[in-house]
C-alpha cells in the first residue's frame, strides 16, 4: 500500500466530481476497506427534529470520539463545536466547525436545515456556521460520527454521503483523512493551525501538499515557506531523516500528473489504537499515537526539529549543517558569501554566489562539436553526501545515474542533480534553496562547478592523501622500531633471568645436599629427544610425559617433562629432585640432572 504512482484518467470526465466524489475510492481504497467492514449506525444521530445543543454530545459507536460544544479558554465565553478523543488524556481536539464565529450566547444548536445542510444556530437563530452543501436530497438526512472521527451527513433514503468533515479538515489529520490538490479547478485540502493554544480561529500556518513532481509536504507561514519535507520517494519524504528505508510509513501518496491532481492519505499507525497528525499553532507538525488513557500520547514524529529545518536558513547556495550542537551555515563548494560582513555577523539570509562562473563551452550547448571540447575547460560535478534535496527541483527522464549526470552536463541551465532511489533523476536549474546537510543518512547531491574549482579540490586531495600516507609510514616505522627494541630488551632480560635462575637453582640444590647434578640446556634436551618427538614418548602420568633420548656422547637417557597444568611449583620440583637423587636400586636409573627454562621443568 505504501506506493507512489503516476496514473492516467480517461479524458472527458468531470475533474471536480473526480476529486470530491471518486477520490475516496480511487486514492485510498485500502484504507476504506476498514471503514466498510466496521461502520455502524446504531447510535443517536443529529436530525432536523433532534439537534445537538450545548452540554450535549454525540459519541462515535465505539466511544473513541465525541462531538459537542467546548470552550478552550475559560476566560472567555466562547463556545465552539468540535470533535475530540474521549479515551486519552490530555484531550486533543481534531476538528472545529465554527472557527471564525464562536457561540457567545448561552444556547445554540447544531441541526440540519431544509436544504439538507448541517448548520449551527445561536439563540436568535442566527447562522454561525454551515456545511455549505445544498445537495439534492430526499429531505431526510442525519449527521453521524463514525468510529474514525469523521462527521458525516447522510441521506437516509439513498445512503449517500452528502458532506463529511474529512473533506474539510482544520488543523488535524486522522487515519483515512487526506490532503490533496487539483490544479484544473484550483482546489486544495490543507491543514490550518489554530491562532493560539486556546484560540481555534485560523492561525498563520498552513500545511499543504505541493503539485511538484514528485510532491512534497510544505508548511507556510503566511505566504512564505516555513518548513518542507523534501520530495516523496515511494515510501518516505527524503527531507525527514527519521523516514529511512526501514521506516513503516503511515502515509500513502498518489499523484496523477496528467490531470494535475495529488492525494496524500494518512493510515493508522500499526500496533496503536489511535493516532493523529496535527499542525500546531506555532508551525510544528506532530505525529502522536496512543494505546489508551493510561499511556497518554507518545511522540512518533515531529518537525521542524532544528533551526536548519526552517526554510532557507542559510540563503541561496548556502548549506546548513544540522548537527547536535548549534547548527551552522557555510557556502557550498565553489561559492562565496554574497556579503562577507553580513555572513560573518551571522546574517546568512542573502546566501552565497559562485566564485567562478560555469563554462559556456559547446558541450554545454549540446551541439555536435562537443566531443572535441577539452576536459580541462568543461564543467564538472562535486559530490556532497547526507543531503536534504534542495527546493525547486524538476524530475528528469533519465534512465540511470550516469544518464542523469550527462543530461545535466549537457544543459546550460542545470546547476545540480541527484539520483534518488524511489524517484530517479532530479535536477536543479536555478539557485539551490533550503540546502541542509545531515550528520547521517540523506542523499547525494552533485553540484556543477567550473573545472578550475574542481582542479583545486583535486590538488588539495592529492596533498592531503600524500601527507596522510607519509604520516602513516612514519608511524608504522616508529612502531616497528619500538617493537624491535622491546623484543631485544625482553630477550636480554630473559637471558639474564635464565642465567640467574640457573645459578640460583644450583646454589639452592647444593644447600639442600643435592650436589653433583648436571644442569642441561633446553636445546640439548630438544636435540636428544628429537624435539620431544611422539616416537620417543615412553609414557604419560598425571604430572607430565616421559621421553627417551640420546646425548651426543651416545648415553641413553629418560626425560620427564612436567606438564604446565600439573600445578607443581618450585618447592614440589625441588622435593622430587631430592627424593630421586637419593634413591638407589638396581631397577632404578640414576638421576643425571635437570633443566629449567621459563615455564619448562625437566
The binding site comprises 560
For residue 155, give the nearest of 39, 24, 47, 20 by alpha carbon.
47
Three-state secondary-structure class, residue 223: coil
- From residue 173, how far is each of 36, 264, 266 by CA, in Å? 20, 11, 7
18: Cβ contacts below 8 Å, ≥ 6 apart:
9, 26, 182, 259, 261
- From residue 153, how far is each of 59, 93, 115, 136, 157 by CA, in Å? 15, 20, 12, 13, 12
Three-state secondary-structure class, residue 472: helix
Q: How far apart are CA 193 and CA 143, in angstroms?
A: 25
How many CB atoms are located within 10 Å of the residue 577 CB? 20
- For residue 571, give the C-alpha cell: 618447592
Q: How far apart are CA 357 and CA 361, in angstroms?
A: 12
Feature table: binding site for ATP: 560
DSSP E strand boundaries for 92-223: 93-96, 108-112, 118-122, 127-130, 141-145, 151-155, 161-164, 172-173, 178-182, 187-189, 191-196, 199-209, 216-221
Whether the ω angle into residue 470 lies within 30 degrees of 0, i.e. cis, is no
Rg of the chain taking only CA atoms, in angstroms: 42
Which residues are 207's β-sheet partners? Answer: 191, 219
Cα 208 from chain centre: 23
Interior CA angle at 335 toward 329 and 341, to 5°? 60
Q: In what order do the strands lie in the sheet with 191-196?
A: 191-196, 199-209, 216-221, 224-231
- From residue 145, how far is each of 59, 82, 392 by CA, in Å? 7, 11, 41
Amino acid at each position: 500500500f505504501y506506493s507512489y504512482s503516476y496514473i492516467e484518467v480517461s479524458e472527458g470526465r468531470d475533474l471536480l466530481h473526480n476529486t470530491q466524489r471518486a477520490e475516496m475510492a480511487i486514492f485510498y481504497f485500502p484504507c476504506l476497506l476498514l471503514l466498510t467492514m466496521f461502520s455502524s449506525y446504531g447510535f443517536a444521530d443529529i436530525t432536523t427534529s433532534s439537534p445537538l445543543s450545548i452540554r450535549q454530545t454525540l459519541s462515535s459507536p465505539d466511544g473513541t470520539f465525541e462531538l459537542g460544544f467546548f470552550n478552550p479558554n475559560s476566560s472567555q465565553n466562547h463556545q465552539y463545536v468540535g470533535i475530540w478523543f474521549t479515551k486519552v488524556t490530555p484531550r486533543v481536539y481534531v476538528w472545529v466547525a465554527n472557527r471564525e464565529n464562536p457561540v457567545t450566547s448561552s444556547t445554540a444548536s447544531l441541526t440540519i436545515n431544509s436544504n439538507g445542510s448541517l448548520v449551527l444556530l445561536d439563540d436568535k437563530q442566527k447562522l454561525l456556521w454551515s456545511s455549505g452543501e445544498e445537495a439534492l436530497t430526499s429531505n431526510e438526512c442525519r449527521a453521524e460520527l463514525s468510529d474514525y472521527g469523521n462527521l458525516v451527513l447522510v441521506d437516509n433514503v439513498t445512503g449517500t454521503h452528502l458532506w463529511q468533515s474529512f473533506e474539510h479538515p482544520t488543523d488535524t489529520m486522522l487515519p483515512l483523512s487526506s490532503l490533496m490538490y487539483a490544479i484544473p479547478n484550483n482546489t486544495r485540502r490543507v491543514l490550518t493551525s489554530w491562532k493560539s493554544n486556546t484560540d481555534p480561529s485560523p492561525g498563520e500556518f498552513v500545511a499543504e501538499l505541493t503539485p511538484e513532481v514528485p510532491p512534497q509536504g510544505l508548511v507556510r507561514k503566511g505566504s512564505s515557506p516555513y518548513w518542507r519535507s523534501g520530495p516523496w520517494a515511494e515510501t518516505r519524504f527524503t527531507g525527514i531523516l527519521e523516514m529511512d528505508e526501514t521506516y513503516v510509513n503511515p502515509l500513502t501518496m498518489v499523484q496523477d500528473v496528467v490531470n494535475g491532481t495529488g492525494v496524500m492519505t494518512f493510515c493508522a499507525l500499526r500496533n496503536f489504537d489511535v493516532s493523529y497528525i496535527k499542525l500546531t499553532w506555532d508551525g510544528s507538525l506532530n505525529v502522536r499515537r496512543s494505546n489508551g488513557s493510561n499511556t497518554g500520547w507518545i511522540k512518533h514524529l515531529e518537525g521542524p526539529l532544528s533551526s536548519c529545518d526552517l526554510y532557507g536558513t542559510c540563503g541561496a547556495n548556502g548549506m546548513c549543517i544540522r548537527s547536535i550542537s548549534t547548527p551552522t551555515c557555510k557556502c557550498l563548494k565553489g561559492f562565496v558569501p554574497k556579503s562577507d560582513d553580513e555572513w560573518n555577523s551571522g546574517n546568512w539570509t542573502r546566501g552565497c554566489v559562485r566564485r567562478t562562473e560555469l563554462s559556456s563551452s559547446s558541450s554545454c550547448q549540446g551541439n555536435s562539436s562537443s566531443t572535441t571540447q577539452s576536459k580541462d575547460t568543461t564543467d564538472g560535478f562535486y559530490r556532497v553526501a547526507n543531503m536534504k534535496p534542495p527546493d525547486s527541483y524538476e524530475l528528469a527522464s533519465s534512465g540511470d545515474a550516469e544518464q542523469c549526470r550527462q543530461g545535466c552536463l549537457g544543459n546550460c541551465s542545470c546547476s545540480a542533480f541527484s539520483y534518488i532511489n524511489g524517484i530517479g533523476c532530479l535536477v536543479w536549474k536555478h539557485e539551490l534553496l533550503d540546502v541542509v546537510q545531515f550528520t547521517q543518512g540523506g542523499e547525494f547531491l552533485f553540484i556543477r562547478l567550473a573545472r578550475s574549482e574542481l582542479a583545486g579540490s583535486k590538488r588539495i586531495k592529492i596533498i592531503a592523501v600524500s601527507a596522510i600516507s607519509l604520516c602513516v609510514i612514519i608511524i608504522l616505522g616508529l612502531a616497528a622500531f619500538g617493537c624491535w627494541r622491546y623484543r631485544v630488551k625482553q630477550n636480554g632480560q630473559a637471558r639474564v633471568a635464565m642465567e640467574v635462575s640457573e645459578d640460583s637453582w644450583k646454589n639452592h640444590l647444593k644447600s639442600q645436599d643435592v650436589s653433583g647434578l648436571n644442569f642441561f640446556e633446553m636445546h640439548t634436551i630438544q636435540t636428544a629427544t628429537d624435539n620431544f618427538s611422539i616416537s620417543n614418548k615412553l609414557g604419560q602420568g598425571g604430572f607430565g610425559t616421559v621421553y627417551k633420548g640420546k646425548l651426543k656422547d651416545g648415553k641413553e637417557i629418560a626425560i620427564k617433562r612436567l606438564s604446565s597444568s600439573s600445578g607443581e611449583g618450585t618447592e614440589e620440583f625441588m622435593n622430587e629432585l631430592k627424593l630421586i637423587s637419593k634413591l638407589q636400586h638396581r631397577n632404578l636409573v640414576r638421576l643425571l640432572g635437570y633443566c629449567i627454562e621459563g615455564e619448562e621443568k625437566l
